[in-house]
Amino acid sequence: MRSTTFNAGSTIIKRGDLNDKIHILTEGIVKIEVPYGDTKLHFDYLPPGSCFNVYSAFGEEVQSVVSFKAETKCIIETIDIHPDLEILARKHQKLAYILKYFHLLQESNELTDFDFFRYSRP
């Protein structure tokens, strides 16, 4: 895991960015913006403890469709999907089972907890 600090107004993930990581907001507020024509619409705010990523942890799609911006100064912990999750799964059998279950759901085109804009609140 890697910790990064973003100043207020900084872009954390820009629409169109390629990103294969899970981000955990440990401090600050993140604003989610959705493109609409030539403008950006405010979609939601994420409080500390929120987790977000821009794609399914089990698929190949890694391009963001929304932008995540630091509304205030933010500290974000970043997890590299494949190596970090594999290490966690080896150490925690229950987590390994949950990840396998999500992977099977996605392979059968079922909705998973990773599918709605790929973020969740604490």
Is the pTM here over 0.85, yes or no? no
Round to whole Å and give the CA distance between 67 and 53.
11
What's the CATH number for 2-81?
A: 2.60.120.10
Domain-wise residue ranges, the chain: 2-81
Q: What is the pLDDT of residues 52-109, one digit of tens each?
A: 876 544 455 566 778 899 999 999 988 776 666 667 667 777 766 766 676 666 666 6
Of residues 14, 72, 78, the one with CA closest to residue 46? 72
Whether the CB-CB separation of 98 and 13 falls below 8 Å is answered with: no
Q: How confident is the model at residue 117 (pLDDT cuts 50, 70, 90)?
A: very low
